[in-house]
Chain A
């Protein structure tokens, strides 16, 4: 029975079905329980939260990643699956401490000053939530000082900065400098991304990491989490 619910959770994450009203990828799924209903059922049955996360959610996302690598899945498929995991993690939130599970950490995301482009940042947000991070989106066109204030208040482990334009990417450097001036730089790891940005640029402005796309961003943050 335990295995049944968990394997159903896995299947529905792969289908990207948050609730029973979602259609997923295959035909004829509407009306069957989605991830929300299944997680609630699993909790009612007092299944081990660690099993739900590891054997259900994480394993499913690994399979989704493989499908993406094999070109079977597209970004919208990945996002649907990640969204399902994000919703599951939200429901599981209050149970994590009780089960002795350490939260993965908090990430603040922002598109820097002068830049209104947020598709990339929003994709990163969905993927991070899907991987179990707590994510707060600060929004677009964020002044360095506003970002510094948010870091001080929220005390995140990670700060993700995004820019689409060559004219606004310089504001990433200004933001990192502002963090240094306020003495917060070593409290938070800064990861940057966006079309004009590169690994080299990240190094040159003193960022801790660079993600060439949403999945790379997640991978970089995962690797910085474990160090």
Chain B
């Protein structure tokens, strides 16, 4: 059975009082400190919407009431659609979904322990792989095709996704022209512009610069995407002690304010346009200021982010599931598991980066997608919780079996065993003898065999006619 969209919320690192205090501080920052906005269009829009704008400093300050009004027009739920309806997800509330993340520059190959630059072909193969991994619900374009010039990146990345998986495609975007190509491509795939609005097969991400700064390009991207009504994620990436206060609470203030700045801009452009509040918050190694992707604090910050999103009634994009390890070892496993688990139990709507990423998010790894798929299966089982009712308490059965009996042959066992217990797709549960007889393989080796099997079947996911239309209309796609 596939578990997705289940309600989380059993892990709450913030009390109600803490949430209220963070909100008050965020609102004070928005009103008194404000944002530096370097996009002229965005500056004008904020001004028209009633913000106090200091032209000299390019500083935008919003009264609390105005800010809350803008946040209030954002929809509390956002539907992201796949080419197949079974892959649709409804972000909002405390429902939990998982997905890949990006954007890695390298591919790690565990057999040789080497990394190499990622190519377009890697992106296609990873899309094919993730299409078959059931515990990964969304496909965010995870790698950067290093061989292509920047003007071909956006169209090729989204085409690689749409053509190799029927799961929803989300991706970062690099150029304004690229966005236009991608949107046109998605319209062709959906059937028309109207159909794309009804069933958004793609969504985009535009990241602000923490702390409290909107760069010119980012502002323009946000405005363009919001105008078109395509779901947009506005995440912020504050790092404790570097681009935010070192404290987790201080980090949460910056992350919330920065992400809300993006949310507010989309609502000024087009009230009600689908937007997702997002966090890539983490800490940093204060010996060299490296961005950390596998720390426990990252899991806690993103779990707390989920609570803040629930407080503002906004769908949430969290970051979890990565590791800073360079190889597929114990560190890789425990770091990925801990942050995924914390985010999921907090009810984070979309945990991105949940599979395949390592090495400070610089590197992706085929085998790790399979390993993380297993972690996510276990995590979703934990989210599912323990159901207590007369059937599961099984008093009648206990009475029937009695002292010294067993439950192996009971119908009740068969009825519940598959639902109640996660069925692993990777983990080794053989006896030592059997495991040795089967080659004594480590997890990454078994994962490698699964990768081979799953990407062997190749099929274009776009219908032939649609595929042809896209290839003839959108220039620069490498087929």
Can you offer 23 A-B residue contacts whose CB atoms are under 8 A? A22-B411, A23-B411, A23-B415, A25-B414, A74-B417, A76-B408, A76-B409, A76-B413, A76-B414, A76-B417, A77-B414, A79-B408, A79-B409, A80-B409, A118-B404, A118-B406, A119-B406, A119-B408, A122-B406, A122-B408, A123-B408, A123-B409, A126-B409
Q: Which residue of B lies closest to A79 (CB)?
A: B409
Size class of the contact patch on chain B:
10 to 19
Q: Contact check, A122 vs B409: say whether CB atoms are below 8 A apart.
A: yes
User: What chain A residues lie within 8 Å of B404 (beta carbons)?
Assistant: 116, 118
Instruction: Report Cα–Cα, A45/B383, bound state, in Å.
Output: 53
B432 shortest CB reach to chain A, Å: 13
Identify which of residues 29-81 in chain A touch chain B, using a CB-to-CB cut-off of 8 Å. 74-77, 79-80
User: What chain A residues lie within 8 Å of B414 (beta carbons)?
Assistant: 16, 25, 76-77, 80
Describe A's contact surface by its main secondary structure: helix
Identify which of residues 76-98 in chain A touch chain B, using a CB-to-CB cut-off of 8 Å. 76-77, 79-80, 83
What 1/0 flags go to B407-421 for Cβ under 8 Å of A?
A: 011110111010000
B446 shortest CB reach to chain A, Å: 13
Known: A76-B413, A119-B408. 5 other contacts (CB 8 A): A23-B415, A76-B408, A76-B409, A79-B408, A83-B409
User: What chain B residues lie within 8 Å of A83 (beta carbons)?
Assistant: 409
What 1/0 flags go to B390-429 for Cβ under 8 Å of A?
A: 0000000000000010101111011101000000000000
Q: Which residue of A lies closest to B434 (CB)?
A: A212
Instruction: Report Cα–Cα, A118/B146, bound state, in Å.
Output: 63
Instruction: Report Cα–Cα, A123/B415, bound state, in Å.
Output: 18
Instruction: Report Cα–Cα, A22/B415, bound state, in Å.
Output: 11
Instruction: Report Cα–Cα, A79/B412, bound state, in Å.
Output: 13
Q: Which of B409, B410, B415 gathers most chain A CB within 10 Å? A: B409
B2 shortest CB reach to chain A, Å: 16
Instruction: Report Cα–Cα, A74/B415, bound state, in Å.
Output: 12
Instruction: Report Cα–Cα, A119/B406, bound state, in Å.
Output: 6
Instruction: Report Cα–Cα, A122/B409, bound state, in Å.
Output: 9
Q: Which residue of B lies closest to A17 (CB)?
A: B411
The residues of A with any CB-CB pair to B shorter than 8 Å are 16, 22-23, 25, 74-77, 79-80, 83, 116, 118-119, 122-123, 126
Closest 10 CB pairs of A and B: A119-B406, A79-B409, A76-B414, A76-B413, A80-B414, A76-B408, A119-B408, A75-B408, A74-B417, A76-B417
Q: Which residue of A lies closest to B429 (CB)?
A: A71
User: What chain B residues lie within 8 Å of A119 (beta carbons)?
Assistant: 406, 408
B424 shortest CB reach to chain A, Å: 10
User: What chain B residues lie within 8 Å of A118 (beta carbons)?
Assistant: 404, 406
Q: Which of B404, B408, B415, B417 gathers most chain A CB within 10 Å? A: B408
A32 shortest CB reach to chain B, Å: 16
Q: Which residue of B lies closest to A21 (CB)?
A: B411
Q: Which residue of A lies closest to B404 (CB)?
A: A116
A163 shortest CB reach to chain B, Å: 16
User: What chain B residues lie within 8 Å of A23 (beta carbons)?
Assistant: 411, 415
Instruction: Report Cα–Cα, A25/B414, bound state, in Å.
Output: 8
Q: Which residue of A lies closest to B414 (CB)?
A: A76
A196 shortest CB reach to chain B, Å: 14
Instruction: Report Cα–Cα, A16/B408, bound state, in Å.
Output: 14
A165 shortest CB reach to chain B, Å: 15
Instruction: Report Cα–Cα, A109/B217, bound state, in Å.
Output: 79
Q: Contact check, A80 vs B408: say whether CB atoms are below 8 A apart.
A: no
A73 shortest CB reach to chain B, Å: 10
Q: Which residue of A lies closest to B415 (CB)?
A: A23
B314 shortest CB reach to chain A, Å: 38
B117 shortest CB reach to chain A, Å: 38
Q: Which residue of B lies closest to A74 (CB)?
A: B417
Instruction: Report Cα–Cα, A79/B406, bound state, in Å.
Output: 13
Q: Which residue of A lies closest to B421 (CB)?
A: A74
B326 shortest CB reach to chain A, Å: 33
Q: Which of A16, A75, A116 gathers most chain B CB within 10 Å? A: A75
User: What chain A residues lie within 8 Å of B409 (beta carbons)?
Assistant: 76, 79-80, 83, 122-123, 126
Q: Which residue of B lies closest to A126 (CB)?
A: B409
B410 shortest CB reach to chain A, Å: 8
A170 shortest CB reach to chain B, Å: 23
A61 shortest CB reach to chain B, Å: 16
A116 shortest CB reach to chain B, Å: 7
Instruction: Report Cα–Cα, A161/B374, bound state, in Å.
Output: 40
A91 shortest CB reach to chain B, Å: 20
Identify which of residues 258-316 in chain B touch chain A, using a CB-to-CB cut-off of 8 Å. none
User: What chain B residues lie within 8 Å of A22 (beta carbons)?
Assistant: 411
Instruction: Report Cα–Cα, A122/B415, bound state, in Å.
Output: 20
Instruction: Report Cα–Cα, A20/B145, bound state, in Å.
Output: 59
Q: Which residue of B lies closest to A22 (CB)?
A: B411
B435 shortest CB reach to chain A, Å: 15
Identify which of residues 164-188 in chain B touch chain A, using a CB-to-CB cut-off of 8 Å. none
A87 shortest CB reach to chain B, Å: 13
Instruction: Report Cα–Cα, A76/B408, bound state, in Å.
Output: 6
User: What chain B residues lie within 8 Å of A74 (beta carbons)?
Assistant: 417
Instruction: Report Cα–Cα, A23/B412, bound state, in Å.
Output: 10
User: What chain A residues lie within 8 Å of B408 (beta carbons)?
Assistant: 75-76, 79, 119, 122-123
Instruction: Report Cα–Cα, A118/B401, bound state, in Å.
Output: 13
What 1/0 flags go to B68-109 for Cβ under 8 Å of A?
A: 000000000000000000000000000000000000000000
A96 shortest CB reach to chain B, Å: 25
B428 shortest CB reach to chain A, Å: 12
User: What chain A residues lie within 8 Å of B413 (beta carbons)?
Assistant: 76
Q: Which residue of A lies closest to B410 (CB)?
A: A76
Q: Which of B404, B406, B410, B411 gathers most chain A CB within 10 Å? A: B411
User: What chain B residues lie within 8 Å of A76 (beta carbons)?
Assistant: 408-410, 413-414, 417
Q: Which of A16, A22, A74, A77 gathers most chain B CB within 10 Å? A: A74
Instruction: Report Cα–Cα, A16/B415, bound state, in Å.
Output: 12
Q: Which of A25, A118, A119, A126 gathers most chain B CB within 10 Å? A: A119
User: What chain A residues lie within 8 Å of B411 (beta carbons)?
Assistant: 22-23, 80
A208 shortest CB reach to chain B, Å: 22
User: What chain A residues lie within 8 Å of B417 (beta carbons)?
Assistant: 74, 76
A124 shortest CB reach to chain B, Å: 12
B90 shortest CB reach to chain A, Å: 25
User: What chain B residues lie within 8 Å of A77 (beta carbons)?
Assistant: 414
Instruction: Report Cα–Cα, A179/B326, bound state, in Å.
Output: 63
